[in-house]
């Protein structure tokens, strides 16, 4: 068995390095730059039931060691994805995880039911944490009752493994993780972006038309790591960790904190080959330390005080 192969939430991954939703499109552009078959998995851009234009520009703003975005779930809808995008993704021997988002609770249910009938999908990622929409998304993920209800209903509608993407913009992410587990989730994605604001001091206006946006990149890595470590101690669900992973050492931090797999986001914009380089870097690390499997380091954080 390959040292990097792993079972994540019932999905057999050739390696634990995935690309996160919203940073890789549907893979077409990146397929010209890297071999998508080498990835552990591709998580698609969020899909809504109907085409959605997203927020007005400007929608991106750089910050120190980070990126603010307020794309607002722009996509061409479910039918277009099934007709135009899924056939392309089916070509590759890698896990295809479809991220779904909705502006109503019933929209999530219809999306899950429709995608359950499609071939070539390894799992669904339930986006309950997008901070850049005024309805649905984070508003459902921040409400414990709705979160539990939605995950439970989606679970009853699909045979596919369910990953729940939780928001870091909550008072108690452990409670959200436990509720998702009780409702039937197979895994957790931690974390989505942190809500942030950037201002142009000359214009005295927000740099984003949406005013606020989601902060990603190296600036959030310590925060994301803490949440992965905290949640891993209170749930049995496997965690897909992410937040500012740029190089092999960053990915290793997430594994040691308790993540079973990692997802790269902002790194894809800066270096399209970052995922491949991290896969190779993990192989070198395991060989150097004479480890038989990546599983040996998962949750191996050594602490001198009781948390």
Whether pLDDT at 1 is above 90: no
Active site residue 130: yes
Cα end-to-end span (Å), the chain: 35
Is residue 154 a part of any domain in this protein?
yes
Is residue 206 a part of any domain in this protein?
no
Is residue 150 a part of any domain in this protein?
yes
Residue 278's domain is classified under what CATH number?
3.20.20.70
Is residue 94 a part of any domain in this protein?
yes
CB 13 within 8 A of CB 40: yes
- The per-residue pLDDT for 136 is 53
The reported pTM is 0.95
Q: What is the pLDDT of residues 233-283, one digit of tens each?
A: 999 999 999 999 999 999 999 999 999 999 999 999 999 999 999 999 999
3-state secondary structure 240-289: EECCCCCCHHHHHHHHHHCCCEEEECCHHHHCCCHHHHHHHHHHHHHHHC
Q: What is the pLDDT of residues 181-200, one digit of tens each?
A: 999 999 999 999 999 999 99
Q: In total, how many domains does the chain have?
A: 1
Average pLDDT over every residue of 52-69: 96
CB 124 within 8 A of CB 97: yes
Given 4, 130, 219, 227, which residue is catalytic?
130
* Domain membership of residue 268 as a residue range: 6-55+66-196+215-297
């Amino acid at each position: 068995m390959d040292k990097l192969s792993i079972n994540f939430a019932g999905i057999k991954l050739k390696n634990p390095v995935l690309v996160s939703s919203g940073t890789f499109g549907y893979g077409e552009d990146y397929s010209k730059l890297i071999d998508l078959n080498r990835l552990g998995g591709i998580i698609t851009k969020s899909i809504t039931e109907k085409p959605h234009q997203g927020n007005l520009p400007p929608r991106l703003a750089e910050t120190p060691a980070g990126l603010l975005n307020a794309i607002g779930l722009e996509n061409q809808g479910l039918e277009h994805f099934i007709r135009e995008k899924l056939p392309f993704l089916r070509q590759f021997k890698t896990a295809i995880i479809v991220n779904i988002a909705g502006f109503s609770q019933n929209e999530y249910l219809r999306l899950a039911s429709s995608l359950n009938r499609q071939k070539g999908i390894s799992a669904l990622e339930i986006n309950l944490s997008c901070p850049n929409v005024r309805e649905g998304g984070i508003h459902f993920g921040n409400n414990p009752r709705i979160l539990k209800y939605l995950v439970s209903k989606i679970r009853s509608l699909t045979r596919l493994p369910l990953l729940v993407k939780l928001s870091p913009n909550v008072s108690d992410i452990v409670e959200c993780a436990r509720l998702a587990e009780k409702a039937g989730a197979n895994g957790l994605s931690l974390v989505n972006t942190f809500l942030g604001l950037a201002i142009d001091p000359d214009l005295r206006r927000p740099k984003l038309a949406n005013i606020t946006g989601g902060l990603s990149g190296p600036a959030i890595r310590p925060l994301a790591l803490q949440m992965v470590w905290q949640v891993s101690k209170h749930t049995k669900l496997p965690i897909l960790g992410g937040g500012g992973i740029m190089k092999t050492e960053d990915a290793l931090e997430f594994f040691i904190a308790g993540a079973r797999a990692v997802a790269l986001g902002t790194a894809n914009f800066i270096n399209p080959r970052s995922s491949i380089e991290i896969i190779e870097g993990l192989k070198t690390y395991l060989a150097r330390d004479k480890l038989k499997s990546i599983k040996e380091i998962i949750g191996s954080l050594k602490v001198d005080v009781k948390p």
